[in-house]
């Protein structure tokens, strides 16, 4: 298996660049191993903020897929214009995972000694001074999503998921 780094999206924009270029309202759905950006005309799918996997026209997107995203992902409208919320009101739990290793399905983010792992429906934060806290991915806030957009990311997910139809939102 290979780890895919942040330079995977060569012919398409990274998620951050796409968000910065949008002038229209948008909704970002965040799952443990993918992101879906909904605009008026398209749904853009990313395995990580830097790995574009495909797009679907909005009028071709099935209602069951959209309902799955609304039910199983955290949602953020116009995420880049959202203010960071301090202090966060998230109820963190202690993680049983104690070493930040890149999962087979999920992503591994890092910046300045801080690490984040997203896998099995969880967002796990490893602070630079040790210890790990976790929360269900559906309950993360604006701060956590912005960290994922700006941190460096590695992933093995593309070894398993080859197209958007392999994502769990299409397996209904």
Give the pLDDT confidence of 19-69 residue by residue, as tens digits.
Answer: 999 989 999 999 999 999 999 999 999 999 999 999 999 999 989 999 999
**pLDDT tier at 1, thresholds 50, 70, 90:** very low
Whether residues 99 and 135 fall in one domain: yes
Note whether 107 and 57 are same-domain residues: no
HSE, side-chain direction, 13 A CA sphere, residue 46: 30
Check whether residue 79 and residue 39 sit in a common domain.
yes
Q: Do 143 and 87 form a contact (C-beta atoms < 8 A)?
A: no
Range of the domain at 22: 15-84+164-170
**Number of domain units in the chain:** 2
Q: Is the peptide bond before 87 cis (omega within 30 degrees of 0)?
A: yes
Q: Do both 75 and 57 map to the same domain?
A: yes
Task: Please tell me the pTM assigned to this model.
Answer: 0.87
Helix (H, G, I), strand (E, B) or coil at 143: helix
The answer on 147 and 110 residing in a single domain is: yes
Please name the helix (run of DSSP H) or strand (run of DSSP E) that holds residue 54, with its range, or none: strand 51-57
Nearest to 35 by CA among 155, 125, 172, 115: 155
């Amino acid at each position: 298996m290979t780890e895919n780094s942040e330079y995977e999206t060569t012919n398409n924009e990274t998620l951050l660049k796409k968000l910065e270029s949008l002038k229209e309202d948008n909704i970002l759905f965040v799952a443990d191993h993918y992101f879906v950006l909904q605009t008026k005309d398209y749904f853009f799918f990313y395995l990580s903020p830097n790995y574009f996997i495909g797009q679907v026209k909005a009028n071709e997107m099935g209602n069951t897929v959209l309902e799955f995203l609304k039910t199983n992902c955290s949602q953020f409208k116009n995420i880049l214009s959202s203010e960071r919320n301090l202090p966060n009101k998230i109820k963190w739990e202690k993680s049983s995972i104690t070493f930040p290793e890149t999962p087979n399905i999920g992503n591994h983010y890092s910046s300045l000694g801080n690490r984040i792992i997203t896998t099995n429906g969880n967002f796990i934060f490893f602070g630079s001074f040790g210890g790990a806290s976790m929360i269900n991915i559906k309950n993360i806030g604006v701060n956590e999503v912005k960290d994922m957009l700006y941190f460096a990311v590695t992933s093995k997910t593309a070894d398993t998921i080859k197209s958007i139809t392999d994502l769990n939102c299409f397996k209904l």
